[in-house]
A and B are shown apart, each in its own frame.
Chain A
Amino acid sequence: MAFEKVLTRNVGNRDALTVKGYRQGGGYEGLAQALKMEPDAVIEEVKKSGLRGRGGAGFPAGLKWSFIPKGKDKPKYLVCNADESEPGTFKDRLLMEHDPHQLIEGCAICCWAVQANNCYIYIRGEYTDAADILERALKDAYEEGLLGGSVLGSGFKLDMYVHRGAGAYICGEETGMLESLEGKRGQPRVKPPFPAVVGAFGSPTVINNVETLANVPHIITRGADWFKAIGTDERNTGPKLYAISGHVERPGTYEHPIGVTFREMLEAAGGMYRGGNLKAFIPGGASAPILKADQIDIKMDFDTVAKAGSMLGSAAVIVMDDTTCMVRSVARLSKFFNHESCGQCTPCREGTNWMELLLKRLEHGEGRESDKQLLLSICKNIGGNSLCALGDAAIGPVRSLVEQFPEEIDRHVREGGCPFPHRRHFQNGA
C-alpha cells in the first residue's frame, strides 16, 4: 500500500500559508472537532494513538498531557519546542515554513485538552524566516477568530505568541527552554518538579516538539485507530519525518511511516553521494551513537534503533561514506557539545572539553594508544552525572567511535595523523 503523506502534504502549497487556503484542505476541522469534545476525551484519543514525542526523547504525548493538574488555581501553558538545534535536524523548519497553520492548529488542540490559555512557540533565533511566517500566520488566525477571546466562538480563550531564542542548543532541553523563555540563561533546572507541575512562570506546562504537535490535528480528524495502523507496532506509530543529510545524493526531509528501513530511506534520497560506499550513519542527530554500514536494514523506529545501541532521537540521519574519517567527524561533534555545554555541571563542562581536546590531538597526530581508554573513562565520568541529557548525548558519538572504530583510532596513532586524504569538494574554486 502506498504511503499517503500526512505532515508534509502542504509542502510547496503556498495557499496553505493563509487560514483560508489551509482550510480548503480540511484545515482547522480538527480544532473544531476537538472543541466539541471534553478536554479529557482529546487527551484519551492522543494517548490511544500512541503518538510519541518527535523531539528526541520519544515520550508518549498523551501521557504527558495527562500529567497537567486539573482545576483553575494556576494558569497553564503550552510551550512548543521549535528550538530545532540538534545537528543534522531540519524537519521542523520545513513544517513551520510550509505549513504554519498545521502547527498552530496542533497547539490550539493541545491547549484545549490541557486547558491552557497561553501558548509560546519558542523558536531558535536563527530561524528568522520561519518566525516571520509563523507571526503572519498567527495574525491571520487571530483575525479569523481561531485565536483570541473565543476560539471559533466556543468561549475558550487562547493567546499564542512566537518567542525567538538567541542561539543556544541547550534551550532545546525543556527546562533550559523554560529558563530562557523567562529571560534567563538557558541552564536546565533540577527535576523534579517536572514542568507539568512547575513549568513556565511557576505554572503547569506542557512542552512538545513542533512535529509532535503537527500530528495532533490528524489524530483528531482521522482517529487514533487510523494513526495506529501506520508504523511498526503499537509502540511505534504514525507518520514520521526523517531529515537525511551528509553523503547522500538528495539530502532532504522525507516523510515515511515510522519504522521504514534505513535502506529504503537512503534509496528515497537518491542513494549515496557521487556513488560512494556507505561506511556509517548516525540515526538520530549528533547525540545518537553511530551505526555501521552492516545495520543498513535496521527499522528506523524508537525501539529498534534503541535495541541496536543507538537512538532514533530527532530522526536526523547523517550519512557517511568510506572517504570519511570517523575521528575527525566525532571530533567535530565533540567540539559542538563542548561549545554548547551550559557549564552548570562539572562532569559535562569539563568532560566535553577533554573529549574535544583528545580527539583533536588524535586527528593531529599526537594521540596515544591509551587515548581510547581515556576517552571511555571520561564517558563514564560524564554519563548520568549531570542534570540534563546533554552530557549523556555528548558521550554517545565518542563511545561509539571507540567501540566500533578502534582500528581507526589506532591508525591515527600509528601513522602520526589522519590517514584519510582531506577531501576537496569543489574543483578549481568553482
Chain B
Amino acid sequence: MSVSEPQPRLTGLPEAVRAEITEIRKRYPTDEAALIPALHLAQNAWGGWLPDEAIEAVAVELGLAPAKVYGVVTFYDLFHQKPVGRHRIRVCTNLSCQLRGSDEIMETLHQELGVDEDEVTQDGRCSYIHFECLGSCDTAPMMMVDDTYHENLTPAKVRQVLKGLK
C-alpha cells in the first residue's frame, strides 16, 4: 500500500482547536459528551485521520482514559485510524444506489485512481471507500468527496470531479 503522511505531523492539539473544545464543553453537563465533537476537530487537524498521538491528545484534553477514546474511535465509520488521501471519497453502494449504477462508479474510481478501495494514491491525493447509505437516494448514484455531495453521477462526471481535486 502506498502511504503518504501529512508533513510535518502534529504532536499535540493546536491551540485554536483546544479553544474550540473549551467552548464546546460548555454545551454539555459532562466533559465526556464533548468527545465526538473533539475527535472531529482533531481528525481535521491531523489531515483526515487519527494517529495514536491525536487520540492521546484528545484523551488528555478531556481527562479521559486513552483506551476509552480508542473505543469510541473504533466504533464510528467517520473516524479513521490509518492515513487517508488528501481527498477522501465515499461512494454510497447501498440498495438505492446499487439499483442505479453505483457499481460502475466504484469501477470508474478504481480505473482512474489505479489503487484498490481504502488505499491511498501514490501522490497522496485520494483514497476511496464504499459507504453505507448517505441519504441522497433521490440523486443516486452519488459520492461524497470530503464534505461535499456529488450527485446524479455518471462515469464521465466522476472523471470530471477527480480532475478538480488537487
Contacts and interface: CB of A to CB of B under 8 A. Distances in A.
Interface of A: 75, 84-90, 92-93, 124-129, 159, 161, 163-169, 180-186, 201, 243-247, 251-253, 273, 282, 286, 316, 318, 320, 324, 328-329, 332-333, 336, 339-340, 342, 422-426, 429-430
B144 to A, nearest CB: 7
B94 A332 contact: yes
Nearest to B35: A183
Interface string B70-113: 01100111110000000000100111101111011000100000
Given A126-B78, A246-B96, 7 more contacts: A163-B37, A182-B32, A201-B30, A243-B137, A251-B96, A425-B100, A425-B104
A181 B33 contact: yes
Given A166-B39, A167-B78, A185-B75, A87 B133 contact: yes
| Residue among B29, B137, B144, B154 with most chain A CB within 10 A | B137
A85 B78 CA distance: 14
7 contacts: A85-B133, A89-B133, A90-B136, A166-B40, A166-B76, A201-B28, A318-B137
B14 to A, nearest CB: 20
Nearest to B38: A183
B123 interface: no
Interface residues of B, number: 46
B139 interface: yes
Contacts of A244: 138
B147 interface: yes
B19 interface: no
Of all A-B residue pairs in the complex, the 8 with the closest CB atoms, nearest first, are A425-B101, A167-B77, A183-B35, A245-B137, A166-B76, A167-B78, A183-B32, A87-B133
B104 A424 contact: yes
B57 interface: no
A243 B139 CA distance: 12
A26 B63 CA distance: 47
Contacts of B134: 126
Nearest to B37: A164
Contact of A166 (B33, B79, B98, B136): B79
A336 B75 contact: no
B138 A318 contact: no
Contacts of A127: 135
Nearest to B99: A246
B156 interface: yes
A201 B31 CA distance: 11
B155 A84 contact: no
Contacts of B72: 183-185
A84 B135 contact: yes
B27 interface: yes
Contacts of B79: 166-167
B36 to A, nearest CB: 5
Contacts of A163: 27, 36-37
B34 interface: yes
B132 interface: yes
A273 B96 CA distance: 13
Contacts of A161: 27
Contact of B33 (A92, A183, A186, A282): A183
Nearest to B141: A425
A31 to B, nearest CB: 22
B97 to A, nearest CB: 9
B140 interface: yes
A128 B99 contact: no
| Residue among B40, B138, B144, B155 with most chain A CB within 10 A | B138
Contacts of A166: 36, 39-40, 76-79
Given A167-B77, A318-B95, A426 B32 contact: no
Contacts of A85: 132-133, 135
B99 A318 contact: yes
A86 B134 CA distance: 9
A359 to B, nearest CB: 13
A101 to B, nearest CB: 20
Nearest to B76: A166
A126 B138 contact: no
Nearest to B62: A183
Contacts of A336: 94, 132-133
A328 to B, nearest CB: 8
Contacts of A340: 132
Given A126-B134, A333-B95, A246 B155 contact: no
Contacts of B37: 163-164
A157 to B, nearest CB: 15
Contacts of A320: 99
Contacts of A86: 133
Interface string B16-53: 00000000000111101111110110000000000000
| Residue among B27, B34, B75, B96 with most chain A CB within 10 A | B96
Contact of A201 (B29, B71, B90, B147): B29
Contacts of A422: 103
Contacts of B137: 87-90, 243, 245-246, 251, 316, 318
